Amino acid sequence: MSKFATLNFSMQNQTELLDENQQGEATMVEQLSDRLTGKKVYLESYGCQMNFSDSEIVASIMANAGFETTRNANDADVILLNTCAIRDNAEQRIRNRLKQFNAEKVQNPNKVIGILGCMAERLKSQLLEEEKLVDIVAGPDAYRDLPNLVLELESGQKAVNVLLSRDETYAEISPIRLDSNGVSAFISITRGCDNMCSFCVVPFTRGRERSRGPKSIVAEALDLFEKGYREVTLLGQNVDSYRWNISKKGEIVDSMDETVNFAQLLEKVALVNPDLRIRFSTSHPKDMGNDVLEIMSRYENICDYIHLPVQSGNSDVLHKMNRGYTRDWYLERINAIRKYIPECGISTDIITGFCGESEEQHQDTLSLMEAVKYDYAYMFFYSERPKTLAERKYTDDVSLEDKKRRLAEVIALQKVHSMESNKKAVGKTYRVLAEGYSKRSSEQLCGRNSQNVMCVFDKKDYKKGDYVNVFITDCTSGTLIGETVV
């Protein structure tokens, strides 16, 4: 990351604090801003919530350098695609989009196309040099450098920065909320991942795990609340391993600073205001402790919802996946959730057809689903990713046909469970945070209950951002339908 670019976020309010050298750099930043002012940037995001959250950081960095954001790609001087590399089909979709933008570039050759995020990190300069699909390549830790990369193009230089950092958290950057409903927002609390699940490309694309300071997280939550937001989702690849000022071995790093683990961070954010709802994602079964469950049960405004990816219901497959837990351990964690938070909504991620998965092992996944009865699930068939442990160690030997058939079985079973779960909600009353109009009618509002299920109800005098008590009268497998009660 260039020092030059690290300054741009703070140039308005910190110039007076800089020493002589830095003053020089600040002037350069002002010049940079002059050269970029008025240019328009268009951002498109793919993949996980973290990518959408990152795009808001990118928007902020670009705005501080003088860019305006636009929702119309045709209007943009710079098009940035924030990409996902987790499965091959995600990458293919992005490639097609890049080809489309390149075709349009014939009419407007000065338009800059940049690729950000995991696919940028994975493919490095390949998309630039071999496939000639992009002008800029920036990995997840290089966003501060983006204005600089745009300017480098003008001098005919290649614009690539895929350096991964051990400490970049973009902590003090105030994200520009894109496509926001003004009610819910993401806050990143950790970046990167140290887990090395054998199927997963994320540790290679997002680098080492690091936590963001609690003060800046709490300040961001407070700022959002004051701006009218009523829900924040704390994001990290594995939120349970959040730790501030505590080494991996559990030692205190700086005796003058406070130490904060994830349970303590949750509590701090919950205390910002009782009317600010807190969600978080993603929890990891090997790390999710009872301390987190205890804090969740204690604070009304921490939502009763946990996303706890299981990936497989068979312990041998879990071992090969390097997940760090067994089927029994996972089921014990589910029991703990139900003990502390009886009404907790639980969702999961499942992969079918991982290397060597037998028919019996697949049946174990179905039987685990029967045992847990998830309220919701994200389900995928295994897609081998270059560089991962699984690619190096195991054979991707389940046929595509079997992977897809097993996936269809998992999806069919989940549909039954989601319907059962929603039917149980009929006749109950939930406190719902109104997020906006329902898709079907401007006479109806929609919003989620604490368990993260979408509810639809007549608008009456309510507006988005209101907490509304909704009595559930009917449901589909995806939505609860109800009427407001006082």
* Contacts to ligand 5AD by CB under 6 A: 86-87, 199-200, 309, 311, 349, 351, 380, 382-383, 385
Conformation bin of residue 172: beta by default, left when phi > 0, alpha when psi is -120 to 50: alpha
Q: Which region, judged by CB under 6 A, interacts with ligand SF4, from 108-116, 200-208, 329-337, 409-417?
A: 200-208
Number of Cα atoms under 13 Å in the Cβ half of residue 455: 31
Q: Counting contacts by CB under 6 A, is residue 47 touching ligand SF4?
A: no
CA geometry: angle at 333 spanning 331 and 337, to 5°?
115
Q: What is the pairing mode between strands 184-188 and 40-45? A: unpaired
The CB density around residue 424, as the number of other CB atoms within 10 Å, is 13
Q: From residue 96, give the alpha-carbon distance in Å to each of 101, 113, 115, 117, 160.
A: 9, 14, 13, 17, 21
Q: Counting contacts by CB under 6 A, is residue 200 touching ligand SF4?
A: yes
| Binding partner of residue 195 among ligand 5AD, ligand SF4, none, CB cut-off 5 to 8 Å per kind | ligand SF4
Q: How far is the CB of 388 from ligand 5AD (least distance, A)?
A: 7
Q: How far is the CB of 49 from ligand 5AD (least distance, A)?
A: 10
- Report the C-alpha gap between 188 and 243 in whole angstroms: 13
Q: Counting contacts by CB under 6 A, is residue 202 touching ligand SF4?
A: yes
| Binding partner of residue 457 among ligand 5AD, ligand SF4, none, CB cut-off 5 to 8 Å per kind | none
CA geometry: angle at 340 spanning 334 and 341, to 5°?
80
The CB density around residue 348, as the number of other CB atoms within 10 Å, is 23
Q: Which CB sits closer to ligand 5AD, 87 or 406? A: 87
Q: Which CB sits closer to ligand SF4, 241 or 361? A: 241
Q: How far is the CB of 398 from ligand 5AD (least distance, A)?
A: 12
Q: Which CB sits closer to ligand 5AD, 383 or 477? A: 383
What binding mask, one character per residue, do residues 274-293 give for ligand SF4 by CB under 6 A, x or -? ----------x---------
Q: How far is the CB of 142 from ligand SF4 (least distance, A)?
A: 19
Q: How far is the CB of 48 from ligand SF4 (least distance, A)?
A: 9
> Pick from 47, 139, 147, 203: which binds ligand SF4 (CB under 6 A)?
203
- Report the C-alpha gap between 237 and 281 in whole angstroms: 7
# binding residues, ligand SF4 (CB under 6 A):
10
Q: Which CB sits closer to ligand 5AD, 252 or 400? A: 400
Kindly list the strands in the beta sheet with 231-235, ordered across the sheet, starting from the edge strand earlier in the chain.
184-188, 231-235, 277-281
- Report the C-alpha gap between 210 and 216 in whole angstroms: 14
Number of residues in the chain: 486
CA geometry: angle at 120 spanning 117 and 124, to 5°?
145
Interacting residues with ligand SF4 between 157 and 196 (CB under 6 A): 193, 195-196
Nearest to ligand 5AD by Cβ — which residue? 349
| Binding partner of residue 198 among ligand 5AD, ligand SF4, none, CB cut-off 5 to 8 Å per kind | none
Q: Which CB sits closer to ligand SF4, 195 or 361? A: 195
Enclosing H/E stretch for 454: strand 454-458
> Pick from 197, 234, 398, 413: which binds ligand SF4 (CB under 6 A)?
197
1 contacts 145 by C-beta, under 8 angstroms: yes
Q: Which CB sits closer to ligand SF4, 127 or 235? A: 235
Residue 63 one-letter amino acid: A
Q: From residue 2, give the alpha-carbon distance in Å to each of 116, 126, 148, 328.
A: 17, 22, 9, 48
As to burial, measured by CB atoms within 10 angstroms (0-12 exposed, 13-18 middle, 19+ buried), residue 72 is exposed
Residue 326 one-letter amino acid: T
- The values of phi and psi at residue 199, to 5°, are -85, -10
Q: Which CB sits closer to ligand 5AD, 119 or 432? A: 119
Q: Which CB sits closer to ligand SF4, 196 or 416? A: 196
Q: How far is the CB of 352 from ligand 5AD (least distance, A)?
A: 9
CA geometry: angle at 24 spanning 21 and 28, to 5°?
140
Q: Which CB sits closer to ligand SF4, 9 or 186? A: 186
| Binding partner of residue 417 among ligand SF4, ligand 5AD, none, CB cut-off 5 to 8 Å per kind | none
Q: Which CB sits closer to ligand 5AD, 10 or 322? A: 322
Q: How far is the CB of 185 from ligand 5AD (least distance, A)?
A: 21
> Pick from 82, 188, 190, 238: which binds ligand SF4 (CB under 6 A)?
238
Q: How far is the CB of 209 from ligand SF4 (least distance, A)?
A: 8
Q: How far is the CB of 381 from ligand SF4 (least distance, A)?
A: 15
Q: Which CB sits closer to ligand 5AD, 198 or 418? A: 198
Kindly list the strands in the beta sheet with 345-352, ordered across the sheet, starting from the edge strand earlier in the chain.
305-307, 345-352, 376-381
Longest alpha-carbon distance in the chain: 69
- Chain residues in the site for ligand SF4 (CB under 6 A): 193, 195-197, 200, 202-203, 237-238, 284
